[in-house]
Amino acid sequence: MVDDDRDSVSIVWDCGTAQVQRLGGMLGPVWFTLPDGRKIQPFAIAPWADDETPEHAALPGIMRRLRGEWPCVPFGAPSAPGGLPESWRGAPVNSVDPEFHGHSSHHVWDVVEQGDDFVVLSIAYPDAHPIRRLTRKISGRPGAATIDCELTIEARKDVTTTIALHPVFRLADEAGQSEIVADFKFGRVLPFDLEPGVSRLTPDAEFTDLNHVPAKTGFLSLQRLPFEFDTEELVQLCHAGSPVRLIDHCEDYEISLQHDRYLFPSVLLWISNRGRTQYPWNGRFTALGVEPLHGAFDLGPDIGAWPENPLAKSGVSTAIKLTAGEILNTSYSISVSGL
Domain contains 78: yes
Cα–Cα distance, 210 to 215 (Å, whole number):
12
In a domain, 1, yes or no: no
Give one DSSP letter per residue of 231-265, joined into a string. Answer: EEEEEEEES--S-EEEEETTTTEEEEEE--TTTS-
Nearest CA-CA partner of 24 in 43, 4, 42: 4
* Domain count along the chain: 1
Percent of the chain with pLDDT over 70: 99
pLDDT tens-digit series, residues 323-339: 999 999 999 999 999 99
What value does the mean pLDDT of the chain take? 97
pLDDT category at 1 given cuts 50, 70, 90 is very low
Q: Residue 194: inside a domain, yes or no?
A: yes
Q: How confident is the model at residue 6 (pLDDT cuts 50, 70, 90)?
A: confident
As a dihedral over the C-alpha atoms of residue 29, residue 126, residue 318, residue 196, rounded to 10 degrees, the angle is: -70
Pairing of strands 244-248, 206-207: unpaired
pLDDT at 147 over 70: yes
pLDDT value at residue 220: 98
Residues 28-79 pLDDT 10s: 999 999 999 999 999 999 999 999 999 999 999 999 999 999 999 999 999 9
Mean pLDDT value across residues 284-306: 98
User: Which DSSP state fits 58?
Assistant: T
Residue 3 has pLDDT above 80, yes or no: no
Domain-located, residue 173: yes
Q: List pLDDT tens digits, range 207-227.
A: 999 999 999 999 999 999 999
pLDDT at position 5, please? Answer: 80
Q: Which domain holds residue 304?
A: 8-338
Question: Residue 64: which CATH number?
Answer: 2.70.98.10
**The pLDDT value given to residue 50:** 95
Q: Is residue 31 part of a domain?
A: yes
Give residue-wise pLDDT tens across range 69-106. 999 999 999 999 988 999 999 999 988 999 999 999 99
Residue 3 domain-assigned?
Answer: no
Beta strands (DSSP E) in 34-94 are 39-40, 71-72
53 CB-near residues (< 8 Å, 6+ apart) = none
User: Which residue type occupies 314?
Assistant: S
The pLDDT score that the predictor gives to residue 4 is: 73
CB 128 within 8 A of CB 266: no
Residues 6+ apart with CB under 8 A from 3: none
pLDDT in tens, 92-142: 998 899 999 999 999 999 999 999 999 999 999 999 999 999 999 999 999
